[in-house]
A = this chain, B = another copy of it.
């Protein structure tokens, strides 16, 4: 069985989501990491690549160099897919260039820094003829896949109501003021874009609601708050939702729900039954 050859942009030492992508790839054993540029620092990139067991000549100093050099390798050696795991403001450029250089692209959420970039990237993906995958990690969990299947099989009947929530408490204090790297970029509009908590975790809740229900959100009304003094981006919000089939919903996402760790949860109710986290409830008459 031939494995797919994977290149990675981002994810060096000190980063968070890149290692998750690599572990996920190894669990299924369908990918082999063959090259990468792991940091904007050439030194960090090189050290990270060697730690990962890569050949030194396939650890690059920039994504431009990676795309160029890999394209020149023989077809049965060059990377086939590029996984992009950089901060939000560095999603658009490498993703677009990878697609235009002929690589398939796996991009971690949220899509881009701005809505305009997202639209442009969608067009670039269509034009390229390459696969473009936007990863929301929770869709990979067996329980989430089972929830989606339960809805698809009609076991709940027509969907009427969806509650989805993602409470975290780790930004209850002004963490970005005390050198917390994970807090700093997430609360910095120059790196995260216009959305704070909504971009960071609200997107997961939104994706989960659409993924599990199979329904698209068509209207919404949102209450977005900056709770912690001095913060520059929203750290809390709640959204009333309407779905394409007329169902309604509520999305709650907060990073100031003190004491909560990372509690994403979905509840879906239909004509015939409901799904509450891991519990499936069907009404007697079914």
Q: Which residues of A contact B (CB under 8 A)?
A: 1-3, 22-23, 26-27, 29, 50-53, 156-157, 160-161, 163, 165, 167, 169, 172-173, 221, 223, 225, 227, 236, 238, 240, 248, 250, 252, 254, 256-260, 267, 269-276, 279-283, 285
Contact = CB atoms under 8 A, between A and B. Distances in A.
Contacts of A259: 269, 273-276, 279-283
Given A160-B258, A221-B223, A257-B274, 8 more contacts: A1-B50, A26-B26, A161-B256, A163-B165, A169-B274, A172-B269, A236-B248, A254-B269
Given A1-B50, A51-B1, A240-B240, A271 B248 contact: no
Contacts of A165: 163
Given A252-B250, A283-B169, A285-B173, A257 B161 contact: yes
A180 to B, nearest CB: 14
Contact of A161 (B1, B50, B163, B254): B254
A157 B26 CA distance: 40
Contact of A227 (B160, B250, B267): B160
Contact of A269 (B173, B258, B280): B258
9 contacts: A160-B256, A161-B227, A161-B254, A163-B165, A163-B167, A221-B223, A250-B252, A259-B269, A259-B273
Contact of A256 (B260, B269, B285): B269
Going nearest first, the 10 A-B pairs with the smallest beta carbon separation are A259-B281, A259-B274, A26-B26, A258-B274, A223-B240, A238-B250, A257-B269, A258-B269, A258-B273, A1-B53
A279 B172 CA distance: 18
Contacts of A3: 53
A53 B259 CA distance: 46
| Copies of this chain per assembly | 4
B252 A276 contact: no
A6 to B, nearest CB: 14
Nearest to A223: B240
A256 B252 CA distance: 20
A259 B1 CA distance: 39
A3 B51 CA distance: 11
A5 to B, nearest CB: 13
Contacts of A157: 258
B283 A172 contact: yes
Nearest to A283: B258
A23 B26 CA distance: 8
